[in-house]
Amino acid sequence: MKVLLDRLGIRRLLNLGVTEHLGLESSVRVQLSNLIAVLGIYSNIQYSIFFVIAGAPHYRIMNLIHVCVITSLVFVLYLNIKGKYTLSRVILVFTVSVPLFFVSTISFGSSGGFYYYFLMFAIVPFVIFSYEEKWWILFVFLMNTGFYIWFEFFGTPGKFEEGTLLYRKEIQELFRINSVVSCLSFVALFMFYFLRNINRIQKEMTRINDHKDRIFSILAHDLRGPMGTMSNFLGYLTTSLPERDELIFGLKELKKTTNQTYLVLENLLDWVQNETKKTQCNPKNLSLSLILKNTLDILNIQATDKGISWEINVSETASVYCDERMTATVLRNILSNAIKYSHPNGRVSIEAELVSQFMEVRFQDNGVGMTDDLLSKIIEGKRFASGFGTVGEKGTGLGLLVCMELLKEQGGSLQVFSQPQVGTKIIIRLPLIN
């Protein structure tokens, strides 16, 4: 179905004017406005043809009105593209009622049931206006309801020329049936689309609440512990003068704790920025070996304390076309995890080679590995609980999720292969300069 809609260009029409800066609720209203405008254009073209075939009274005047209405509805789509959403909706709710008013006044009268559409348009403002625009909702609702009541109870039947299709009662009844079915179909379509997007909004709210809880959990547990450790050690230094060896050991531990806290904060900020779509990608030609060297320097103390050795096979001339901060974050997270889940005195290999239009970088460790369930969550991009490292290191469970999102933002990709108690292999692909 989605493929068919894409081929017909309908999805593109419905998303005219929808930008990443709009909230989900506002985007839904713009899409519904586009849907009503597109249906209005289609209906006016359809009825213009029917009126000519059926010999409707004053069909030339009605077709001229249809042309004006179609032009106005196209202008509504243009206003959405330009971001003038309120003006677009105001013009829309008045424009869609115009042909119905004239067809029920100068052409069909109360015959054919065209005035039934006023009931449908009475509910349209409820789905395209926000609660803050309640006076517009009330005005349009009362206007269309008033039109319906007038034509239902005070309208007169149309006068049709003998010999035309509309002179026959059964054809008039067919028009009436078509009006009823069309109204119900359009209302069902609006309601279905509205309910579908309400469901999307509810899921988005659930996701946001889940993210909020995750952030508070990280702040409460993963940051409070390291910060408490640093505070205690600094308090110890201010009240006593330790021996030189104790001081060096304590400073190393302080440095390691600081690095871990920094990584947690960095992951948290990158994750939040990406989730709120505030991440800015500024790609340029970068030296992969230089970024890798800077990353290893940051993780040097962490690796040395566990006796982790590096096996690096990356050319000095290897380059990628990426955002420097994003790429550094990806490498830091992958290598930090490799250290965390490797056994003491383990080995981590890093190699890079050109594959098609990408630089493929492979990271291999012989650590604890991952279960199939955990691996499937990572592949699907789902949140998962982070386990402790081999010597009790803590994590947020955000590292690989951040990596996947940052790589996707740059046009790259990430693959994970792992077996419990065997190790983990991660392959990332970084784009090259065009």
- Which has the higher per-residue pLDDT, 238 or 279? 238
Residue 75: pLDDT over 90: yes
Q: How far apart are CA 12 and CA 259, in angstroms?
A: 47
Whether the Cβ atoms of residue 168 and residue 152 lie closer than 8 Å to each other: no
Q: What is the pLDDT of residues 301-311, one digit of tens each?
A: 778 878 888 99
Which pLDDT score is estimated for 384? Answer: 61
Which pLDDT score is estimated for 220? Answer: 56
Q: Boundaries of CATH 3.30.565.10 in the chain?
A: 280-431
Query: Where does the pLDDT of residue 215 fall: very low under 50, low under 70, confident under 90, or very high at 90 and above?
Result: low
Q: What is the pLDDT of residues 334-391, one digit of tens each?
A: 888 888 888 888 899 999 888 888 899 999 988 888 888 877 777 776 666 666 667 6
Provide the residue type at 39 as one letter: L
Mean pLDDT on 296-300: 81
Residue 213: pLDDT over 70: no
Query: Where does the pLDDT of residue 276 fall: very low under 50, low under 70, confident under 90, or very high at 90 and above?
Result: low
Mean pLDDT on 278-304: 82
Quote the percentage of the chain above a pLDDT of 90.
7
Residue 225: pLDDT over 50: yes
Which pLDDT score is estimated for 52? Answer: 85
In this structure, whether the domain defined by 280-431 belongs to CATH 3.40.630.30 is answered with: no
Which pLDDT score is estimated for 302? Answer: 78
Q: How far apart are CA 267 and CA 140, in angstroms?
A: 49
Q: How far apart are CA 195 and CA 124, in angstroms?
A: 14
From residue 118, alpha-carbon distances to 64, 109, 148 in Å are 21, 14, 6
From residue 18, alpha-carbon distances to 31, 49, 79, 191, 422 in Å are 7, 32, 12, 20, 48
Residue 4: pLDDT over 60: no
Query: Where does the pLDDT of residue 12 fall: very low under 50, low under 70, confident under 90, or very high at 90 and above?
Result: confident
Which pLDDT score is estimated for 8? Answer: 47
Which tokens is 128 given? 């395209």
Quick one: CA dihedral 377, 378, 383, 386, positive or negative? positive
Which H or E element spans position 119? helix 117-128
Residue 118: pLDDT over 80: yes
Residue 209: pLDDT over 80: no
Which pLDDT score is estimated for 234? Answer: 74
DSSP label at residue 314:
-
From the list 68, 22, 23, 79, the residue with the least C-alpha distance to 41 is: 68
Kindly give, in sequence order, each residue whose CB lies less than 8 Å from that of residue 125, ignoring residues fewer than 6 positions away: 93, 136, 137, 140, 141
Mean pLDDT on 213-241: 66
Where b means 16+ CB within 10 Å and e means fewer, 332-341 reads bbbbbbbbbb
From residue 259, alpha-carbon distances to 174, 219, 273 in Å are 76, 16, 21
Which H or E element spans position 419? strand 413-419
H helix intervals, 276-323: 288-298, 300-306
- Structure-token match 């449908």, residue found: 120
Q: What is the pLDDT of residues 401-423, one digit of tens each?
A: 778 878 888 888 888 888 888 88
- Which has the higher per-residue pLDDT, 18 or 270? 18
Which H or E element spans position 195? helix 169-217
Judge residue 194's burial from the number of C-beta atoms within 10 Å of its C-beta, 0-12 exposed, 13-18 middle, 19 or more buried.
Answer: middle
Q: How far apart are CA 37 and CA 32, in angstroms?
A: 9
H helix intervals, 242-323: 244-275, 288-298, 300-306
Which tokens is 378 given? 């990572």
Kindly give, in sequence order, each residue whose CB lies less than 8 Å from that of residue 211, ignoring residues fewer than 6 positions away: 272, 275
Residue 9: pLDDT over 70: no
Which pLDDT score is estimated for 362? Answer: 93
Which tokens is 429 given? 């692909």
Kindly give, in sequence order, each residue whose CB lies less than 8 Å from that of residue 299, ignoring residues fewer than 6 positions away: 259, 332, 335, 336, 339
Which pLDDT score is estimated for 349? Answer: 92
Q: How far apart are CA 332 and CA 193, in angstroms?
A: 43
Which pLDDT score is estimated for 363? Answer: 92
Residue 205: pLDDT over 90: no
